């Protein structure tokens, strides 16, 4: 039992905040949407750059700084 209590005390407390205000919920949802859209844009842009490099050069040509 003491070991379990010791383990529990070592775990940091992660507070959860809840809100029911419609404006705040909309803002949180909008931030999530913008983050997802930004990540998708970045991924598509990187793929486009690599595809353009392949079309211009050889099929094996890719920019190593661009992750796929």
Which residue bears the tokens 């931030």? 31
48 φ, ψ (degrees, to nearest 5):
-60, -45
Domain ranges of the chain: 20-68
Contact 53, 62 (CB under 8 A): yes
The predicted pLDDT at position 12 comes to 74
13-24 pLDDT, tens digit per residue, is 777 777 778 898
In this prediction the pTM is 0.51
Ranges 2-16, 27-41, 46-60, most confident: 27-41
């Amino acid at each position: 039992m003491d070991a379990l209590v010791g383990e529990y005390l070592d775990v940091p407390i992660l507070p959860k905040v809840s809100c029911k205000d419609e404006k705040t919920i909309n803002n949180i949802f909008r931030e999530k949407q913008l983050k997802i859209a930004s990540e998708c844009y970045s991924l598509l842009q990187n793929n486009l750059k690599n595809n353009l490099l392949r079309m211009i050069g050889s099929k094996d040509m890719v920019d190593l700084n661009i992750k796929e």
